[in-house]
Amino acid sequence: MKKIFKMFMIALAFTMIVPEHAMARMKKSQEQSIDFSSFTCSSFIKEMTESSEEDAGAVLLWLDGYLSGVSGDTVLHWKGFEQFAENLVTHCQDNKDQMLLDAAKNVGIE
């Protein structure tokens, strides 16, 4: 249960980074498919600020799963997941023009 709580705390951290008024946009687009290959870090941060905590957590979990597929790692490391989320946000804030999946690979695969 603590592990699930930590995941939601990570999602909550995203909401603290960005203005609250942006949260409604991601909720609105929730019925649409998301093409992560077209996301820059800037668009990722923007969309995350406009999403609900649950949606932000789902996106982070998807990114972790994507990296698992790339690396062959089949274990969800909760402690590493929290650090990955923090590192990705920091990296994306500093590299707004980088493609999101490249940024995720940079911070998530050692």
Domain that holds residue 91: 2-18+39-108
Task: Judge whether 19 and 27 are in contact, CB under 8 Å.
Answer: no
Q: Does the pLDDT at position 106 exceed 80?
A: yes
Flag whether 90 is in a domain. yes
Q: Which tokens is 102 given?
A: 């490249």
Per DSSP, the three-state class of 40 is strand
d(CA 106, CA 110): 8
- Written as one letter, the residue type at 64 is D
d(CA 91, CA 87): 6
Tell me the per-residue pLDDT of 22-79, one tens digit each, with 9 for 90 and over: 455 555 555 678 888 999 999 999 888 888 888 888 888 899 889 888 888 888 878 7
The model's pTM: 0.68
Flag whether 30 is in a domain. no
Q: Could you give the number of structural domains in the chain?
A: 1
Tell me the per-residue pLDDT of 76-105, one tens digit each, with 9 for 90 and over: 878 778 888 889 999 999 999 999 999 999
